Amino acid sequence: MMRTVLRGVRVIDPARGLDAQRDVVIEGGRVTAVGEGAAAGIGAEARDTRVIDGAGRWLAPGFIDLHTHLREPGYEYKEDIVSGTRAAAAGGFTTVCAMPNTRPVNDNRAITESMVAKARAHGLVRVYPIGAITRGQEGRELTEMADLRDAGCVAVSDDGRCVTDAGVMRRALEYATTHGLVVVQHAEDHALTRGAQMHEGAVSTRLGLKGWPRFAEDHIVARDLMLADATGARYHLAHASTAGAAALVRAAKERGLNVSAEVTPHHLTLTDAAVLGYNTACKVNPPLREAHDVEALIAALADGTIDSVATDHAPHASVEKECEFAEAAHGMVGLETALALLLGLVHGGRLKAARLVEALTVGPARAFGFEVPTVREGACADLVLIDPARVWQVAPERFASKSRNTPFAGRELVGAVEMTLVGGAIVYENPRPEGV
């Protein structure tokens, strides 16, 4: 049996508050030893053993992405379960939750089962589907949520569309809670964003692009939090993008509401100014906001108001981005750049390393009710090895994803995933020599 040994690695394990140099031994899909000198007796020449020098590197539980668009079924030209999970592995993610805006929409047991089967057979990382809240994501009739749950869905969401009808949202919260599912809301009042292309502000006015005002997000969040309070449901806010949404979630948590929220790496690192020049790579939904929103989101992530970072990995083919801005699709790929972008916040002193790891592991696990990942004896060996200092340049042509729609092409980033393990098996190893 193959054994992997990490010698002298910085183990960051937020689940038990550990952040220290340790040896880690992995065998039979599990962590079998964590400790100072735990690998003392194991030499580099030991049989069936891979010994890795952990000096200068971090070992953390594998990341969990609550918000991934794998595009299968229906949009395999953008991404599929194989390419999407390969991209996840390259980004250090060992679990991804697949959004239901596929074609057909994942709003019934048959679709969920086919996704689960495909992922089990061919996926590189664990895939948990998210079912739709309403049939066809049309915002009217509820999906068969007990069926969806039994088939493997871990949450429900109409992502890309908001459940704007308050009556439907109330019943969705009640019904999903009945069946133990979290409701994930894409908060956008479509009546306020008709034809919108980007954040509404001075930049949208300069560019002559129709704006998506902050309050189109905020007032849905405010309403949903009231509904969550009244129904006692588990509510999760997808991709918070405004200072107002962060403040609302903070106040709700202070009142003791059992709600959670996520933020994307791009909303933490880019502003609406990135759209100047009609850069379609920066066309995302919700849109990139202004500097004070970014500041508020970073603060909310740092203090735990926002529990998780999620990528909203949204692959699109080049023809869907190489066109007029108004015709371009919303979204950017995120799995393979997430860690390095977030490490930028750590290197810049805005976020503690342990908090970042927590927001990529414990936070999302708690939000969706997964077993809390940890690096301890007996734990499942879903792990990521990180070189926080490795300098690399984003080269979209080398992405494992089928799509290249990133605004970070050519950007030099600091910090990289060196190795990803799922159940003890190495599913990704950084192929590039140091310094490339």
Partner 1 sequence: MKPAARHLLGIEDLDPREIVQFLDTAEVFFDVSRRRVRKVPTLRGKTVINLFYEASTRTRTSFELAGKRLSADVVNISASSSSASKGESLYDTLKTLEAMRPDVIVVRHPHSGAPHFIARHTQAGVVNAGDGTHEHPTQALLDAFTIRRAKGRIGELVVTIAGDIAHSRVARSNIHLLTRLGARVRVCAPRTLLPVGVEALGAEVFTDFDAALEGADVVMMLRIQHERLTEALIPSTREYSRTYGLTAKRLSAARPDAIVMHPGPMNRGVEIDPSVADGRQSVILDQVEAGVALRMAVLYLLAAEVGQSPLT
Smallest gap from Cβ 212 to partner 1, in A, equals 11
Q: How far is the CB of 285 from partner 1 (least distance, A)?
A: 18
Q: Minimum distance between the CB of residue 304 and partner 1, rounded to whole angstroms?
A: 32
The span from the CA of 416 to the CA of 92, in Å, is 9
Can you tell me which of 64, 99, 183, 209 binds partner 1, judged by CB under 8 A? Answer: 209
211 near partner 1, rule: CB under 8 A:
yes
Residue with smaller CB distance to partner 1, 195 or 348 = 195
Is residue 275 a contact partner of residue 257, using CB atoms and an 8 Å limit?
A: no
CB of 280 to partner 1, least distance (A): 9
Residue 207 binds partner 1 (CB under 8 A) = yes
Q: Is 206 in the site for partner 1 (CB under 8 A)?
A: yes
User: C-alpha distances in angstroms, 82 versus 77, 267, 329, 361?
Assistant: 12, 27, 22, 22
Under 8 Å CB-to-CB from 145, ≥6 apart: which residues? Answer: 131, 153, 156, 175, 176, 178, 179, 181
Q: Which is nearer to partner 1, 81 or 203 (CB)?
A: 203
Q: Which residue from 319, 389, 395, 436 is in contact with partner 1, where contact means CB under 8 A?
A: 319
45, 48, 324, 397: which one contacts partner 1 (CB under 8 A)? 324
Residue listed under structure tokens 């003791």 = 256
Selected binder of partner 1 within 2, 323, 389, 436 (CB under 8 A): 323
Identity of the residue, 46 or 276, whose beta carbon is nearer to partner 1 in the bound complex: 276
Which region among 68-76, 82-90, 104-112, 325-333 touches partner 1 (by CB under 8 A)? Answer: 325-333
For residue 164, count CB atoms less than 10 angstroms from its CB and return exposed for 0-12, middle for 13-18, buried for 19 or more.
middle
To partner 1, the closest distance from the beta carbon of 197 in angstroms equals 8
Using CA atoms, how far apart are residues 260 and 43, in angstroms rounded to an integer?
45
Contact 242, 185 (CB under 8 A): no
Residues between 277 and 296 with contacts to partner 1, criterion CB under 8 A: 277-278
Active-site residue, 65 included? no
Q: Judged by CB under 8 A, does residue 344 bind partner 1?
A: no
Least distance from partner 1 to the Cβ atom of residue 211, Å: 6
Tokens 């079924």 -> residue: 73
Tokens of 114: 């086919």
- Minimum distance between the CB of residue 327 and partner 1, rounded to whole angstroms? 7
User: Which lies closer to partner 1 via its Cβ, residue 34 or residue 196?
Assistant: 196
Please give the torsion angle defined by the CA atoms of residues 364, 369, 371 and 375, in that order, rounded to the nearest 10 degrees.
20
What is the SS3 assignment for 105? coil
For partner 1, which stretch binds (CB under 8 A), given 24-32, 194-202, 247-255, 374-382? 194-202
Question: Is residue 325 near partner 1 by the rule CB under 8 A?
Answer: yes
**Which among 27-35, 271-279, 400-408, 417-425 is the span making contact with partner 1, rule CB under 8 A?**
271-279
d(Cα 251, Cα 300) in Å, to the nearest integer?
A: 11
Looking at 80, 107, 159, 312, which residue is catalytic? Answer: 312
Query: Which span (1-9, 144-152, 169-177, 316-324) binds partner 1, by CB under 8 A?
Result: 316-324
Which one, 279 or 393, has the nearer CB to partner 1? Answer: 279
d(CA 5, CA 98) in angstroms, rounded, equals 32
Contacts of partner 1 in 366-405 (CB under 8 A)? none
What ranges in 305-419 are assigned the alpha helix state H?
A: 338-347, 353-360, 362-368
How many CB atoms neighbour CB 3 within 10 A?
18
Q: Which residue's CB is nearer to partner 1, number 178 or number 318?
A: 318
Nearer to partner 1, 244 or 363 (CB): 244
Span interacting with partner 1, options 64-72, 91-99, 199-207, 226-234, rule CB under 8 A: 199-207
Which residues, 6+ apart, have CB-to-CB distance to 251 below 8 Å?
none
**Which uninterrupted H or E stretch holds 248?**
helix 243-254
Nearby residues of 272 by Cβ (< 8 Å), 6 or more positions away:
198, 199, 201, 203, 204, 287, 288, 289, 290
Query: Using the rule CB under 8 A, is 201 a contact of partner 1?
Result: yes
CB-based contacts of 435, cutoff 8 Å, min separation 6: 390, 391
Among 13, 23, 65, 200, binds partner 1 (CB under 8 A): 200
Binding site for partner 1 (CB under 8 A): 197, 200-211, 213, 276-278, 319, 322-327
Catalytic residues, by residue number, are 312
